[in-house]
């Protein structure tokens, strides 16, 4: 069911969105911004779902990826698409500093990662020579023309971030199916039991952290070239942590496509509907909706949709049976 929804979603994103919205920069831009949140949300959910670690500091990876890529392209002339990948690697490397926190549990781990994110932000502000400090970096190169396609346009950017998110989903899917995934799931249920059976829990957690950091870093790098601007306050903003978490939980963080659907839904509904209802302070409705969702459907949006589908299917079947 889940994989079907993912496939359907990607189909719509690849074919439907460019076809219907392709010439509307505003709407394409909104969907692309939502996908940026979605990318981080998937990375966060991977760590949360497979690694059993709830992070409050994904902004750290986002920021490190963004700065790595921006500095490489601006000061060292590295091609943008290469820099996106290196941005991910940079974020992975930065996650090594966080390894000691892996022995912490639950909220303690979450808060430790938050502290790391704050520390990274302050370091980026103080390392003026490298990052431009609080003054920030303007005119970061846009996505380039590649194979005759200008990725610097809104639609081009959209395609790139969509590809990034799709690759992430595929990776997520295969990790989950692999023996790693099984071990991780077992670990999630009982770490002690897995240790006794001989699965190296810490090793698995380390790998998941590296992967999640890489993904987030790449998305952060993309955003830097998409917005063409960075300052520490922006690159390491708590928004990059909070919104993805909200999106993931909203969509259903234990599912594959939940985080993406959640991000799209929250971002688009907020910007297209609520903002028109209350031009200033529309986030208020978002807050209400979030709270309501957690209480009424705690496992997220996806189960609601899934239920809807299955019920419909069941209804149809019943209908068919009656006809027959």
Q: Which residues bind another protein (CB under 8 A)?
A: 24-26, 29-30, 33, 36, 54, 100-101, 103-108, 111-112, 114-116, 118-119, 122-123, 125-126, 133-136, 138-139, 154, 227-231, 233-234, 238-239, 242, 245-246, 249, 271, 275, 279-284, 286-291, 294-295, 298-299
Minimum Å gap between C-beta 103 and another protein is 7
Instruction: Identify which of residues 7 and 288 has a Cβ nearer to another protein in the complex.
Output: 288
Give one DSSP letter per residue of 111-153, joined into a string.
HHHHHHHHHHHHHHHH-HHHH-GGG-EE-PPPP-EETTEETTS
- Distance in Å, CB of 118 to another protein, minimum: 5
Beta bridge pairs of residue 146 = 149
Compute CA 281 distance to the chain's CA centroid, rounded to the nearest angstrom.
Answer: 25
- Report the alpha-carbon distance of residue 289 to residue 274 in Å, rounded: 11
**CB of 309 vs another protein, minimal distance in Å:** 22
Please state the closest distance from residue 101 (CB atom) to another protein, in A. 7
Alpha-carbon Rg for the chain in angstroms:
20
| Closest CB to another protein among residues 106, 200 | 106
Minimum separation from the CB atom of position 31 to another protein (A): 10
For residues 116 and 105, give the distance between their C-alpha atoms in angstroms, rounded to a whole number.
16
CB 130 within 8 A of CB 68: no
CA-CA distance, 3 to 255, in Å (whole number)?
Answer: 9
Please report where in the chains the tokens 């240790």 appear, as a residue. 195
- Between 86 and 112, name the residue whose CB sits nearer to another protein: 112
For 137, list phi and psi in degrees, rounded to 5.
-115, 125
Cβ distance to another protein smaller for residue 77 or 100? 100
Q: Find, among 37, 294, 66, 58, the residue nearest to 165 by Cα.
A: 37
228 vs 6, 58, 76, 235, 289, CA distance in Å? 31, 21, 17, 12, 32
Cα separation, 203 vs 142, in Å, equals 37
Choose between 89 and 227: whose C-beta lies nearer to another protein.
227
Q: Rank residues 87 and 270 by Cβ distance to another protein and give the closer one.
A: 270
Write the DSSP symbol of residue 99. Answer: G
Nearer to another protein, 20 or 108 (CB): 108
Helix, strand, coil % over all residues of the chain, rounded to 5: 80, 0, 20
Least Å distance between CB 27 and another protein?
A: 8
β 145-146/149-150 pair status = antiparallel
Please state the closest distance from residue 81 (CB atom) to another protein, in A. Answer: 20
Smallest gap from residue 137 Cβ to another protein (A): 9
How many other β-carbons are positioned within 10 Å of the β-carbon of residue 142?
18
Cβ proximity to another protein: between 302 and 318 the closer is 302
């Amino acid at each position: 069911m889940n994989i079907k929804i993912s496939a359907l979603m990607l189909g719509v994103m690849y074919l439907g969105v460019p076809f219907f919205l392709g010439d509307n920069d505003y709407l394409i831009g909104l969907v692309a911004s939502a996908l940026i949140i979605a990318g981080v949300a998937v990375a966060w959910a991977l760590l949360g779902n497979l690694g059993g670690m709830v992070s409050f500091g994904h902004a750290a990876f986002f920021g490190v990826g963004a700065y790595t890529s921006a500095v490489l392209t601006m000061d060292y002339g590295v091609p943008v698409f290469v820099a996106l990948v290196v941005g991910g690697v940079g974020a992975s490397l930065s996650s090594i500093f966080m390894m000691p926190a892996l022995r912490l549990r639950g909220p303690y781990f979450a808060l430790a990662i938050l502290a790391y994110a704050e520390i990274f932000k302050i370091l980026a502000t103080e390392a003026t020579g490298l990052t431009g400090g609080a003054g920030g970096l303007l005119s970061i190169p846009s996505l380039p023309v590649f194979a005759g396609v200008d990725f610097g346009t809104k639609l081009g950017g959209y395609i790139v971030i969509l590809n990034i998110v799709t690759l992430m989903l595929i990776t997520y899917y295969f990790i989950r199916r692999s023996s790693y995934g099984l071990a991780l799931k077992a670990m999630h249920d009982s770490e002690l039991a897995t240790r006794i059976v001989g699965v190296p829990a810490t090793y698995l957690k380390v790998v998941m952290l590296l992967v999640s950091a890489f993904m987030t870093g790449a998305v952060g790098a993309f955003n830097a070239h998409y917005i063409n601007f960075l300052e520490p306050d922006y690159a390491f903003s708590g928004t990059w942590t909070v919104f993805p978490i909200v999106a993931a939980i909203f969509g259903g963080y234990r599912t594959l496509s939940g985080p993406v659907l959640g991000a799209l839904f929250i971002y688009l509904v907020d910007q297209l509907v609520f903002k028109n209802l209350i031009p200033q302070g529309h986030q208020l409705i978002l807050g209400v909706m979030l709270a309501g969702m957690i209480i009424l459907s705690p496992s997220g949006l996806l189960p609601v949709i899934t239920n809807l589908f299955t019920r419909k299917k069941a209804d149809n079947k019943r209908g068919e049976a009656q006809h027959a």
